Structure formats: structure tokens, C-alpha cells
Amino acid sequence: MGRRLQISQIDTLFADGSYPIEFLLFFDRAFDVDRLRPALKRLRRTFWPVFGIYRDGVIADEGQRADEFLVVEQLDQELPPSDDDAQAFEHFRRLSIGPTDHLFALRVVRFRNGLALVPRLSHLAGDGYSYFYLLSVLAGLTRLPKSPLRPIRSHTLPLLYRPHHRRAVQRGFEYSDRETVPIPEDRADYSVVSRQIPKSELRAVLKDLSASHGQHVSTNDYLSAVALKHLVSSNREQFGDRIDLTIPIDVRRNVTEYGRRFFGNAIMLHTWSFETDRIERASEAEIALAVREGFPEVSRETYLEYLIGLEHQMEVADRPRLQPYDPERGCLVTNLSRLPTERLDFGTGPPRLVTNITAGRNGAVILSRGKNLVLRMVC
């Protein structure tokens, strides 16, 4: 029998395959795609759960070949240069891999003006931090120079960045069957709204806001407020009297048992509830302060309480709470502006464009674009 890994409490929120993490990485200069296959083979040794199969609460290593996870194709066209408008985003969404039995898949598309990678990771396998951790090691293996030392380096690099997979490190857990919440259908009538905010201007606003109110208001607080304001103003009838805001909080820095080498879901999904009348009347700055005031303390003890709460919700079959967020009642805002994109160099430099192509309805992501931050909302 191969290696087996029990999933954690937080993993169960994604056990139905919902909310995969899928980005498009576009490179103006193509690299040697043939290097990806041996790199994936090396990667599989230490990141084995990514290449496993999930069944009934267990990720199992069943010896899948690395090339099962890779698809390479050619398109005789150019990729649009921008991702900040709805038309371009819709084009990128067509490159999505779509549902798959694998926890990980990688699509490579050669365009006339460059090369795109589309890695798709089941959220059950890991969170956004784990996604870019995996890709940065894959990039390092792919760009290794051809030299007598390459076999040694390709063997030692995964060991240097070896992750740990101890998902029940803080509290033991064994999955039992439960009724799952249906995955929201991918609607055809969604709209995409992008708002660009210069980083320098936002820093100045946050500095004044924090100084005048004695609280450290973050980028995430402020752009979450922008998202709430937009959703209420554009679709008040859907939300009625209240709207929820959910933010995934990474706990690696606060829970030492996880640490930066943990591969999996080291997140706590925290939800605020706001009166829609208040959102309509308040300024974005006032809403940002309310978000900051409601931000939870994150520690080993509070995260343990969160995991115990999830277990209780499973026991009482609290179905609405056993999903990342409810798009009928609110939104999910994920801050991806600090992604280590400079590490995603597969041999010809880092990607010119890094953008998400999978997003839930009423989901918003914060991305970095040079001197600007981009808030993209899918409504």
C-alpha cells in the first residue's frame, strides 16, 4: 500500500472539489517545455499528495505517472495583452482546465506571442500559499542549467524545499461521510469589474486612516470595503438587509506547528456581517475601519477553537456553514497581491502576467500590477 494522508477539518470544506485554485502565467519568451516532465517527476517525490487521488477523507499515493498531469498544445493566435477588462478575462477563462479527477493538472499553451502555463490545484490539496510554493519549486527544477551537476541539483532541490504534510498536527481528525453543499453552478451571466488603485495613493490613505483612528488598517481591509460597497450598490436586492464578508486568513505565522513549510490548507475563514443600509451610507474608509475592528485574534488557541467549531458544525449538519462562503448572502475577498511571482522563472525570466482564471460568484481577488493594485470582482 502506498502513502496515505488523512484530510483535516478545514480540508473538508473543499472535499467536493469546489473552489479550485487556477491561475494563468504568461511568458513573453517561451522556455523549453520538455523540461517540465522530468521536473514534475522530481517534484512528485516530495510533494506526493498533489499527485495523489482523493477518496473518502484520504489522499492516497497510487503511483500515477507525472506525465498524466501535463497537457501541451499550440494555438495559432495571440494572447490578449491585458487582463483588466471583462473581454480579456473571459478569454482567459476559456483556457481553464475544468473539472478533473486529479488534485493537480498543468496545461501549457503555446501562443504566437509567448507561452502560457495554467496550473490547476484542487483546494483540497492546498491553499494559495501552497499553490505558489509548489510552482516556485517546479520553476527551480525546470530552469536548472544543463551541466554535469544538474542530476545532483535536481535531486537535492526538492529536498531543500521539502514541505511537511502533517495536516492533523494541531488536532487529530478523521473524516466521516456528510451531506455536502452543492457546488455553485458557473453562471453565464456573470459580470467582471476591475478597479485599479495606485499603491502610492493607497499607502497614503491607509497611513492617514491608521494615524487618525489609532488602528493599523491594512490593504486587505480597505479593498474589502471597496468590494462590499460595489456589491451593495450594484445588487442590493440580492442581499436584502445584510451582507456577509468572508476573508481567508493564513495562520502559518501564528501557529508554529504549521510554519512556512506546511503544504495544505493553513487558513481560517472568518466572516463579518454588515447591515446593507450601513454599507450604503458609509464611506469606503469607514467600512475599512469596521472590517479592521472585527478582525479576529489569530493564535494557536483561537485556531484550535475554530477547528473544534468546524467539527461541531459537521456533527449537527450545519450545511450553510460547511462551505467556504455563501455567494447568495455575501462575498469572499482573497488578497493575492504579495504572490512571489519573481520566483516563477522557468528559464526565461518571471511571467509578464499572473492572473486568476477561476473565481466564485461574488468572489473578489486583490492582485498586484506594477505600481497598481487591482481589485477584480466577479458578480
DSSP string, 137-204: HHHHHHT--SSTTHHHHHHHHHHHT--B--TTSSS-------PPPPPPP--SS--EEEEEEEHHHHHH
The x, y and z cell numbers of residue 290, run together, are 469596521
Task: Give the per-residue pLDDT at 158.
Answer: 61
Q: What is the largest CA-CA distance in the chain?
A: 67
Q: Which residues contact 148 (CB under 8 A, 6 or more apart)?
A: none
**Hey, what domains does the chain have and what are their CATH numbers?**
4-160 (3.30.559.10), 192-378 (3.30.559.10)
Task: Give the per-residue pLDDT at 86.
Answer: 67
Task: Give the per-residue pLDDT at 68.
Answer: 86
Task: Give the per-residue pLDDT at 157.
Answer: 62
- Between CA 186 and CA 188 the distance in angstroms is 7
CB 36 within 8 A of CB 137: no
Task: Give the per-residue pLDDT at 186.
Answer: 53
Handedness of CA 242, 243, 245, 246 (dihedral sign): positive
Is residue 111 packed enough to be buried (19+ CB in 10 Å), middle (13-18) or exposed (0-12)?
Answer: middle
- Between CA 242 and CA 330 the distance in angstroms is 8
Low-confidence ranges of the chain (pLDDT < 70): 1, 82-86, 145-159, 177-189, 318-320
Task: Give the per-residue pLDDT at 189.
Answer: 62
The x, y and z cell numbers of residue 111, run together, are 501562443
* CB neighbours of residue 124 within 10 Å: 24
Task: Give the per-residue pLDDT at 82.
Answer: 67
Task: Give the per-residue pLDDT at 66.
Answer: 74
The x, y and z cell numbers of residue 351, run together, are 511571467
The x, y and z cell numbers of residue 314, run together, are 459537521
Question: Where are the alpha helices (H) located in the chain, listed in sequence order?
Answer: 36-46, 86-93, 128-142, 150-160, 199-213, 219-239, 276-281, 284-293, 300-315
Residue of 136, 36, 55 whose CA lies nearest to 102: 55
Task: Give the per-residue pLDDT at 276.
Answer: 96
- Between CA 236 and CA 228 the distance in angstroms is 11
DSSP 3-state of 364 = strand
